[in-house]
Amino acid sequence: MNTYRIASIPGDGIGVDVQAEARKVLDRAARRFEFGLEWTEFDWSCERYLETGRMMPEDGIEQLAGFDQILLGAVGFPGVPDHVSLWGLLIPVRRAFSQYVNLRPVRLLPGTTSVLRDRTADELEMVIVRENSEGEYSELGGRQNRGLPGEFALQESVFTRVGVERIVRYAFELAQTRTGRVVSATKSNGIIHTMPFWDEIFAEVAEEFPTVHSEQCHIDALAARMVQQPERIDVVVGSNLFGDILSDLAAAVTGGLGMAPSGNINPAREHPSMFEAVHGSAPDIAGQGIANPVAQILAGTMMLEHLGEAEAARAVYTAVEQVLATGEVATPDLGGKATTAELGSAIADAVQA
């Protein structure tokens, strides 16, 4: 029997609630498909930061390095600035483990209350490939003349040839396994150094994939297209910032943030990858037990796929679809009255069926 060692970081707010449900469902899948999941829990969070001054211990990265994968809830909570929670945990993990692909599959699920719920699942199925290690989320820059009339802030973006090439190539390779269409999110009319560089590399890589249909689209127009003509979109590749924004939008038009999973993937598998919901810790509903656990459970299916347990991943996905389709157990964001644990348990039971 294969046993996988998984680092579990529930984090803050609803991260804790949805993580418990994901573990419940994944454990049932493991039992049914006869593999082991050995969980190790880490209390790395804003609460820990307030006690110790650090989101994770100094050797946090080394502690995680030996695990097969990481499943993360969400981090961030009022009282700790968001840049502290992000740069104190998430970004160091993504960078240290070279998780340069942020993969965000988007698919219309039954039971959704989204504006595009009347589309078919065929029309609304896409995947956002977000660059996850450089780009606009950089530490370069600074602030000067604080508090003076001449105060200013300068933030630099970093686009490297290696970084852009590998994410674009990943998107093309992925498109080959899907419908064979890639669209690149750009803004080379307004951002005149980095974005033309991005476009040039996109065009170069496109030449290596003659069977894949490629096009580029400005981020603003692409955002509109995602809502108006989602059937024209399959694989989207974008920089760190553009990919982040587009994937929240894609989540919103398909089922809401409560349904959108993501993977921070190290394609070479030299390091653990990290799976998480797209959403954050949702302080507005934290502690109420009403968060939708589906996004985190689907993040779990991505983890199972990455582990090579494709059959188990499919079974969990099907269980989610079955439960959502009946509409009997739904959290408030889906128009129901169920709790996080009730929806998680219903899905776990459907896995076992």
Site for ligand NAI, rule CB under 6 A: 14, 18, 74-77, 82, 85, 90, 257-258, 276, 279-285, 291-292, 295, 333
Query: In the complex with ligand NAI, which residue's Cβ is closer, 163 or 280?
Result: 280
Q: Are the C-beta atoms of residues 312 and 351 closer than 8 Å to each other?
A: no
* Residue of 291, 295, 288, 276 whose CA lies nearest to 340: 291
Two tokens, residue 172 = 């093309």
CB 300 within 8 A of CB 263: no
CA–CA gap between residue 311 and residue 95 (Å, rounded) = 30
Between CA 96 and CA 109 the distance in angstroms is 34
DSSP type of residue 135: B
Least separation in angstroms between residue 15's CB and ligand NAI is: 7
Size of the site for Mg ion (CB under 5 A): 2
Which span (14-22, 126-134, 135-143, 236-244) binds Mg ion, by CB under 5 A? Answer: 236-244
Q: Which of 125, 131, 234, 244 binds Mg ion (CB under 5 A)?
A: 244
Decide: 27 and 91 in contact? Cβ < 8 Å.
no
Q: Which residue has the tokens 């951002």?
A: 191
Tell me how far, at minimum, the Cβ of 155 lies from Mg ion, in Å.
18
Sign of CA dihedral 321, 325, 331, 332: positive
Cβ-Cβ contacts under 8 Å for 264 (sequence gap 6 or more) = 93, 94, 97, 99, 101, 102, 132, 273, 274, 275, 276
Provide the mask over 192-231, with x wherever binding to Mg ion is found by CB under 5 A and - wherever it is not.
----------------------------------------
Distance of closest approach, residue 353 Cβ to Mg ion, in angstroms: 34
Please check whether residue 165 is in contact with residue 131, taking contact to mean a CB–CB distance below 8 angstroms: no
90 binds, among Mg ion, ligand NAI, none (CB under 5 to 8 A by kind): ligand NAI
Rounded least distance, CB 326 to Mg ion, Å: 30
Smallest distance, ligand NAI to C-beta of residue 249, A: 13
User: Measured from the CB atom, is 173 or 248 closer to Mg ion?
Assistant: 248
How many residues are recorded in the chain?
Answer: 353
d(CA 216, CA 255): 26
Residue with tokens 């959502």: 324
- For ligand NAI, give the closer residue by CB, 38 or 139: 139
Spatial distance between the Cα atoms of 94 and 88, rounded to a whole number of angstroms: 11
The interface partner of residue 21, options being Mg ion, ligand NAI, none and the CB cut-off 5 to 8 Å by kind, is none
- Shortest distance (Å) from residue 260 CB to ligand NAI: 9
Nearer residue to ligand NAI within complex by CB, 56 or 183: 56
Nearer to Mg ion, 90 or 346 (CB): 90
For ligand NAI, the closer CB: 18 or 265: 18
Nearest to 259 by CA among 250, 267, 268: 250
| Residue 244 contacts which entry, ligand NAI, Mg ion, none (Cβ below 5-8 A, type-dependent) | Mg ion
- Comparison of 214 and 339: residue with beta carbon closer to ligand NAI: 339
Q: Provide the total of helices (H) and of strands (E) in the chain, helices listed first.
A: 12, 12
R_g over Cα of the chain: 20
Q: Cβ of residue 187: shortest distance to Mg ion, in angstroms?
A: 18
Q: Which does 45 bind (CB under 5 to 8 A by kind): ligand NAI, Mg ion, none?
A: none
Nearer to ligand NAI among residue 20 and residue 257 (C-beta):
257
Query: CB 256 → ligand NAI: shortest distance, Å?
Result: 7
Residues that bind Mg ion (CB under 5 A): 244, 248
